[in-house]
Amino acid sequence: MSTPLLDTAGLGDRTSGVRALHGLIDSMVEAESLDGDYDGLLIEVDRAIRRLESFKLRVVAAADAARVADRTGLAGTSSWLARRTHADPAQSAADVRLATALDSSRPCSEALSAGELSTEHAKVIVKATEQLPEGLDEASVAQVEQRLVEQATHLSPEQLRRAARRALAAVEDDRAAVDAHEDQLLRSEEQAALAKARLTWHDNEDGTVSGYFTVPAAAAAILIRMVQSMTSPRRARLGATAAQAGTPVERRTWVHQNGLAFVELLEHLPTDHLHGKVAATVVATVELATLQAALGAAGLDSGERISAGDLRRLACSASILPAVMNGPSLPLDLGRSSRLFSEAQRLALATRHSTCAADGCERPFAWCELHHQHPWSHGGRTDLKDAIPVCGFHHRRIHDPSYIHRFGPDGITFHRRT
């Protein structure tokens, strides 16, 4: 699909016409009062904006066909657009994609030019028609597009995006075929969403950590629903979290309330069904007397420290496991009776190691597996003194016959055999 090019000979007249619009807008903005039909005025202003956005896309498509960017040495039309309008490069690239994909003879472009739908609606429609099954004739594609344009007049872009997954129903009577097409689109969306999954965090060095995440919408919906339920006005009235942060509930911003709910959620995450219960749990080291008195501090295996009182509270939910010094003992030496190390042994080892034991490896203890320094298959014992944490990479390296490994005071070192 392509947008018909603007007549370059008439560009000057069009430029003058757009400038005349500025004068008209100035006269409206300078009006002393906006009393009157607010609904009608808003609708017409929005329609005018949409029509101008449509015209802008025609200009962009014409500039792309004329290779305007080449004249100034820019990398492409999106770079030219971003430079000339001071727009975000990603948004400029999206605008160029839409401009070059629209076909003026098709329903979407016609509706966009008339101001009947927005560019966001148009992006959804263009993508939906591009994702239709191969082999569909042009008439059928146009019919699907027309149906989407009709839906766009009363749906938001997000609602239209969801409806567009079943756009094939406009020309396909077989529901099974429509279902199969929708399933294929959803699977592609889910795979793309997983590929974009990200989680980063940064220690602010003031007792807080800031983070950023990108997750699939379905997973985010779970988190959002939980946070929303935890911050509902009814729950707030019951004072469920009023003691936290010492701030009256009615004075908290929604952002702060969401943050407190997120903290509460993290502190109560169940870890018993995750791989290695203690591996997914923060371990705190604390003296027995300190824990009993609820005074003093406990050291976390992440290197941070928290108050003993906070440790006692968190330990109730098992989000933090206390390794109590001078407290009740657990069997940490299992000898030959067991091949696998126990949770108690892992907990004890977490008080000694915060990372993988390989020299120079910074992978956290939570990622590590416990390895016998003396192989169990060769008579080694499943005792605490024989346990050493190694990440998956270095655990495989230990069992790789191409390498020699040695245990030393600075950790495990590796050398390739010659």
pLDDT grade, residue 252 (50/70/90)?
confident
DSSP letter, residue 106: S
Choose between 389 and 6: higher pLDDT: 389
* Strand pairing class (305-307; 297-300): antiparallel
Are 129 and 114 within 8 A, CB to CB?
no
User: Which pLDDT value is given to residue 294?
Assistant: 56
Residue 212 has pLDDT above 90, yes or no: yes
Structure tokens that stand for 341 in this block: 């190390």
Helix or strand (DSSP H, E) at 407: strand 403-408
Instruction: Point out the least confidently predicted range of 25-29, 83-87, 390-394.
Output: 25-29
Backbone phi, psi, residue 60, to 5°: -65, -45
Q: Kindly list the distances between the CA atom of residue 183 and the CA atoms of 93, 186, 193, 195, in Å, as whole numbers in the listed order.
A: 29, 5, 15, 18
Residue 211 CB coordination number (10 Å): 9
Residue 279 has pLDDT above 60, yes or no: no
Mean pLDDT of 312-323: 56
Backbone phi, psi, residue 252, to 5°: -85, 145
Residue 337 has pLDDT above 70, yes or no: no
User: Which pLDDT value is given to residue 143?
Assistant: 95
User: Which pLDDT value is given to residue 41?
Assistant: 86
Mean pLDDT of 387-394: 89
Structure tokens that stand for 395 in this block: 């655990």
pLDDT grade, residue 240 (50/70/90)?
very low
Q: Kindly list the distances between the CA atom of residue 250 and the CA atoms of 231, 239, 242, 243, 255, in Å, as whole numbers in the listed order.
A: 12, 11, 10, 13, 13
User: Which pLDDT value is given to residue 51?
Assistant: 94
* Strand pairing class (282-287; 320-325): parallel
Domain boundaries, the chain: 8-194, 199-267, 278-325, 343-416
Max mean pLDDT range (11-15, 64-68, 147-151, 376-380): 147-151
Structure tokens that stand for 58 in this block: 């025609």
Are 143 and 129 within 8 A, CB to CB?
no
Distance CA 6, CA 63 (A): 9
pLDDT grade, residue 80 (50/70/90)?
very high
Mean pLDDT of 75-102: 92
Backbone phi, psi, residue 411, to 5°: 115, -170
User: Which pLDDT value is given to residue 241?
Assistant: 44
Residue 157 has pLDDT above 80, yes or no: yes
Each residue's pLDDT tens digit, 402-417: 899 999 988 999 999 8
Distance CA 209, CA 225 (A): 23
* Coil/strand/helix, residue 375: coil
> Comparing C-alpha atoms, which of 281, 269, 383 is closest to residue 323?
281
User: Which pLDDT value is given to residue 311?
Assistant: 63
